[in-house]
Amino acid sequence: MSGFPTDSAAAIPERFKGLIFDCDGTLVDTMPLHFLAWKAALQAVGMTITEEQFYAFSGMPTVTIIETLAKQQHLVCDARAAAEEKERLFLQNLESLEPVHRVIEIVHREQGRRKMAVASGGWKSVIYQSLAAVGLNGMFDVIVGADDVQHGKPAPDIFLKAAERLQLVPEDCLVYEDGNLGIQAAEAAGMQVIDVRPWYLPRR
């Protein structure tokens, strides 16, 4: 964002009353675990996903990704069942989760000073378990997942829902994201957004 302090240690302008964080790849470095789970779950139904596709889909709801891949690969499968299997495989390896330290430092610094939410394309049950795995349970006022909205990222719905539950207008919210679709969604919601990817090197 031009003219905006993007250093994680920089003071956040007082006009932002709420901070909204994506989960995967923003608060926790879950992407390698998700990719392994994706490969195994899709292989079981005769589908494939490349690493480039995986990162391009970042932020999109799991069921939507499976439906998109099935269409591209001319296959038919139970997208919901495949999504549930993918999340089961991911949760098996939660002990390997790593926090994104520079983002989590912001959470600890701003807790009690501003309202905070998580808005993720993942299912809420999985978000809660991911946050708990890195000691972030109870740190957020609001958790919004894919099961809370009809349209996932890049639609703005998930961020607008988070702002609504924080009882804030969109322009009072600052979003932290790591995915292009999430950045598009935050901008479509009328919110300022910080891309956290320059702050750390995701494991691959």
- Residues carrying an active site annotation: 22
Distance spanning both ends of the chain, measured CA to CA: 26
